[in-house]
């Protein structure tokens, strides 16, 4: 049928198959992207989106299938060739070099076309202004915010002639307002004839932006649709299949008996690139979930460090449990007082990658009778790990599996399960569903709500504002190390919290 087209599709994938040992990442995938089309690629983690993208960008060689570019068969051997064809890619984990300037970063990617740096800097300024993405070419990357870094990645693609722009989960690091700006840029690009492949799992965004969508499940195309004609629910169904429950609304509650009280918390960051905390005050009540939104790098790490006890604060009273000040206590002492903590990094802080699940269960579970006079009770520990695995449906080969062998979502279920099974009175969770698929995210949300209903105080720090609206009873935001007002979730809107995330709030008075 290709002959019938007056202009052939920009990109056609035919029966692309990629097999890794033990898993078929892509199973005979077909995909068509027309010029000027914004095409969504949807799917859960592990559905094969990343592999397919890497095939298009020349990072992975498919075992079977063919790629047609403007109607002509091509073999894309490496990213350099992909860029020569006019394919640009914006990575989820930015491929930028922290200690180099914006111009130097872009020069590296352009190769010999870069020309001399001053004229390249001028080109960068022109492109960034044309598409409404303010950028200073002379800044070093480590001084830029996450949103600005993403602009560098996009501009890097745009300073060359571009025909297909691939964006991998581009909105996961942006405030709702920044997302709007990005969409304006993308629509403008598409109007100019550039095709866009937009990879996401945020269905509302896909419905707002994309013309067509291809949905992957378990390495196969499970559906194609026009997102604007579908509901988020029906698209989600295509992503997860018929068996997995899709998230629901949870009843909101209002409680008044505070468990964790933070008042006037100030802290200068140890990290030269960190954020100082200014006058942070809030409380988390027993039996509620407090959500704190914010774009990464606005002081979340420092706040979590101070709350978990990894960093002790000078003013002991700044952090208060019902039985007294805890600002000077170690993580272990705080845990003994009823706190549990789920850190942001799963591998390395939440779990030790090359230790078994059983040993990882012991790491924080040791306070609950797994250690007997200094000796590890191996049997009990194994049972504890087994219970976590069963109760939270962790997909793994068993308690002896290494933590690193689990997928992100499964490991997160294990870590959260480990903390919840200790019956904490206070649970602090950082980005509990980051990079986790819908099924696992729903399971994690349910577990949190269950714990809340048992009367625990829960603090959730997350960049995913939709998630916070779904599970939090009260919500606030952190920006530049300052905390916004905190309101009951039903009394605020995504827009208002979005403005708080951008720092648009009058500072809260410290209550005595």
Partner 1 sequence: MDIDLISNILYAMVRTGTPLLLIALGELVCEKSGVLNLGQEGMVLMGAVAGFVAALLTGSLMLGFLLAIAAGIAMSLLFGFIALGLNANQVATGLALTIFGTGLSAFIGSDFVGKPITGLEPFALPLLSEIPLLGKMLFSQDMIVYLSFFLFAAVYWFFRSSRPGLIVKAVGENPHAANAIGLPVIRTRYLAVMFGGAMAGLAGGYLSIAYTPLWAENMSAGRGWIALALVVFASWKVERVLLGAWLFGLASILHLVFQGLGFSISSNLLATLPYVATILVLVLLSRNQVRARLLAPMSLGKPFHASS
Of 65-73, 78-86, 363-371, 382-390, the window that binds partner 1 (rule: CB under 8 A) is 78-86
Of 62-70, 72-80, 251-259, 377-385, the window that binds partner 1 (rule: CB under 8 A) is 72-80
The answer to whether residue 100 forms part of the interface with partner 1 (CB under 8 A) is yes
**Could you tell me the smallest distance in angstroms from the CB atom of residue 79 to partner 1?**
4
- Cα Rg of the chain, angstroms: 24
**Could you tell me the smallest distance in angstroms from the CB atom of residue 318 to partner 1?**
26
The answer to whether residue 370 forms part of the interface with partner 1 (CB under 8 A) is no
Indicate which single residue of 68, 85, 108, 363 sits in contact with partner 1 (rule: CB under 8 A). Answer: 108
Indicate which single residue of 15, 142, 188, 454 sits in contact with partner 1 (rule: CB under 8 A). Answer: 142
The answer to whether residue 107 forms part of the interface with partner 1 (CB under 8 A) is yes
The full DSSP string for 239-265 is HH-SSSPPP----------EEEEEEEE
The answer to whether residue 98 forms part of the interface with partner 1 (CB under 8 A) is yes
The answer to whether residue 347 forms part of the interface with partner 1 (CB under 8 A) is no
* Other beta carbons within 10 Å of 194: 23
Cβ closest to partner 1, residue 173 vs residue 179: 173
Packing angle of the helix pair 408-420, 438-453 (nearest 10 deg): 10
Edge-first strand listing for the sheet containing 38-43: 87-90, 164-168, 195-200, 38-43, 212-217, 220-225
* Other beta carbons within 10 Å of 241: 12
Q: Which of 7, 6, 48 is nearest to 30 (CA)?
A: 48
Residue 138, token pair as written in the block: 């002379």
Contacts of 446 (CB under 8 A, 6+ apart): none
The answer to whether residue 30 forms part of the interface with partner 1 (CB under 8 A) is no
The answer to whether residue 302 forms part of the interface with partner 1 (CB under 8 A) is no
Indicate which single residue of 19, 24, 36, 59 sits in contact with partner 1 (rule: CB under 8 A). Answer: 59
HSE-up of 475 (CA within 13 Å, CB side)?
28
Is 216 in a helix, a strand, or coil? strand
Residue 60, token pair as written in the block: 């992975």
Q: Tell me which residues in 111-130 interact with partner 1 (CB under 8 A).
A: 111, 114
The answer to whether residue 366 forms part of the interface with partner 1 (CB under 8 A) is no
Indicate which single residue of 32, 74, 94, 331 sits in contact with partner 1 (rule: CB under 8 A). Answer: 94
The answer to whether residue 372 forms part of the interface with partner 1 (CB under 8 A) is no
Cα dihedral 318, 320, 325, 329, rounded to 10, equals -90
**Could you tell me the smallest distance in angstroms from the CB atom of residue 87 to partner 1?**
11
The answer to whether residue 164 forms part of the interface with partner 1 (CB under 8 A) is no
- Residues of this chain that bind partner 1 (CB under 8 A): 59, 78-80, 82-83, 89, 91, 94-100, 104, 107-109, 111, 114, 142, 156, 272
């Amino acid at each position: 049928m290709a002959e019938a087209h007056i202009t052939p599709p920009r990109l056609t994938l035919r029966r692309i198959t990629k097999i890794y040992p033990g898993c078929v990442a892509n199973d005979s995938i077909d995909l068509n992207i027309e010029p000027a089309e914004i095409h969504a690629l949807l799917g859960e983690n592990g559905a094969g989106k990343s592999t397919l993208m890497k095939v298009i960008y020349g990072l992975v060689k498919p075992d079977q299938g063919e790629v047609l570019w403007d109607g002509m068969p091509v073999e894309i051997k490496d990213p350099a060739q992909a860029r020569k064809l006019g394919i640009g890619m914006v990575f989820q984990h930015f491929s930028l070099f922290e200690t180099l300037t914006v111009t130097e970063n872009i020069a590296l990617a352009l190769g010999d076309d870069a020309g001399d740096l001053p004229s390249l800097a001028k080109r960068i300024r022109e492109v960034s202004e044309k598409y409404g993405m303010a950028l200073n070419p002379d800044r070093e990357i480590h001084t830029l915010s996450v949103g600005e870094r993403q602009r560098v990645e996009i501009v890097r693609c745009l300073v060359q002639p571009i025909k297909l722009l691939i964006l991998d989960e581009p909105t996961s690091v942006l405030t709702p307002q920044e997302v709007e700006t990005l969409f304006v840029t993308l629509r403008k690009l598409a109007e100019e004839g550039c095709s866009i492949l937009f990879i996401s799992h945020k269905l509302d965004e896909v419905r707002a932006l994309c013309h067509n969508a291809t949905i992957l499940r378990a390495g196969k195309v499970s559906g194609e649709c026009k997102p604007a004609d579908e509901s988020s629910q029906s698209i989600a169904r295509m992503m997860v299949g018929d068996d997995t429950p899709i998230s629901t609304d949870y009843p909101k509650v209002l409680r008044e008996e505070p468990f964790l009280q933070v008042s006037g918390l100030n802290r200068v960051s140890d990290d030269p690139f960190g954020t100082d905390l200014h006058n942070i005050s809030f409380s988390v009540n027993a039996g509620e979930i407090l959500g704190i939104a914010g774009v990464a790098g606005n002081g979340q790490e420092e706040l979590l460090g101070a709350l978990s006890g990894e960093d002790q604060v000078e003013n002991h009273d700044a952090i208060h449990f019902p039985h007294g000040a805890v600002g000077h206590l170690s993580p272990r002492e705080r845990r003994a007082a009823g706190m549990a903590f789920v850190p942001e990094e799963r591998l390395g802080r939440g779990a030790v990658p090359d230790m078994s699940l059983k040993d990882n269960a012991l790491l924080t579970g040791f306070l609950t009778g797994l250690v007997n006079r200094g000796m590890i009770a191996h049997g009990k520990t194994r049972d504890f790990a087994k219970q976590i695995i069963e109760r939270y449906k962790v997909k793994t080969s068993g308690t002896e599996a290494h933590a690193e062998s689990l997928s992100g979502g499964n490991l997160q279920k294990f870590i959260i399960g480990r903390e919840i099974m200790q019956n904490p009175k206070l649970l602090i969770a950082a980005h509990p569903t980051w990079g986790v698929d819908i099924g696992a995210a729903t399971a994690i949300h349910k577990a949190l709500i269950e714990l809340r209903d048992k009367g625990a105080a829960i603090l959730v720090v997350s960049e995913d504002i939709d998630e916070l609206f779904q599970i939090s009873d009260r919500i606030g935001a952190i920006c530049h190390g300052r905390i916004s007002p905190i309101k009951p979730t039903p009394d605020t809107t995504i827009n208002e919290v979005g403005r708080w995330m951008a720092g648009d709030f009058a500072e809260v008075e410290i209550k005595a």
